[in-house]
Amino acid sequence: PVTVLLKHYSMCAVVGNSGILTGSHCGPEIDQADFVFRCNFAPTEVYSKDVGRKTNLTTFNPSILERYYNNLLTIQDRNNFFLNLKKLEGAILWIPAFFLHTSATVTRTLVDFFVEHKGQLKTKNLSPKRLSTGILMYTLAYAMCDEIHLYGFWPFGWDPNTGKELPYHYYDKKGTKFTTKWQETHQLPSELTRGINRRFIRYIVVFSTVRIFMLLSCFH
């Protein structure tokens, strides 16, 4: 299956999990992509109208097990996890090394060490923040695709089109407030392409030979 990562694709969709996808009607458009990247084992079945069903690769990190599968402590938890894994239907489940608890601990220890000795070592722009899953998926897509469409990348608690409040994830329970807990580990707004014009639903950035689209809605 890993050989699919060695191929090159005409158009790819990288799907984030922002609440901006709720009501976006982007599902059919996402499913038309030649290759679909998703983040952190996000559910699609109930939300397919907005996020699509197709998945070629999705990431996974330990927080998913803790938050949604009770660390697989019971038979029911394991069954639920197994059933959701089957829904991937051959897609790649990618668990990046630095998402593992052991690697994260080592990384944090190193960062703390450099911060402690900041005045004695030549460091530049040192930060305990790490890149988000979304930016890792975008980087992979950049190497594999001629054209990239980004969906669900909006790290703000309001809809730029309507001004309404948004949940952090599109799959959060109704009424869930936007969280800024991610600020402890990520710098999501700075990962967005600079110069975004919030008055427009779509914009295109031409960079090198790869065409990159970021979509906040799929109404035409």
pLDDT digits (tens, 9 = 90+) for 54-90: 999 999 877 788 888 988 899 999 999 999 988 888 8
Split into its structural domains, the chain has a count of 1
Give the pairing of strands 202-207 and 92-94. unpaired
Q: Could you tell me the residue range of the domain that residue 102 belongs to?
A: 9-214
Please tell me the number of Cα atoms within 13 Å of 148 on its side-chain side.
Answer: 25
Q: Is 8 a catalytic residue?
A: no
**140 within a domain of the structure (yes/no):** yes
Select the highest-mean-pLDDT range: 52-66, 89-103, 105-119, 177-191: 52-66
What does the pLDDT read at residue 120? 64
**3 within a domain of the structure (yes/no):** no
Catalytic residue among 8, 101, 186, 220: 186
pLDDT (tens digit per residue) in 139-189? 889 889 999 998 988 878 888 878 888 888 899 887 676 666 655 555 556
Tell me, yes or no, if the pTM score tops 0.95.
no
pLDDT at 45 over 80: yes
CATH number at residue 182: 3.90.1480.20
Indicate the pLDDT class of residue 191, thresholds 50, 70 and 90: low
Distance CA 173, CA 95 (A): 26
3: Cα separation from own chain's centroid: 22
**44 within a domain of the structure (yes/no):** yes
pLDDT at 9 over 60: yes
**219 within a domain of the structure (yes/no):** no
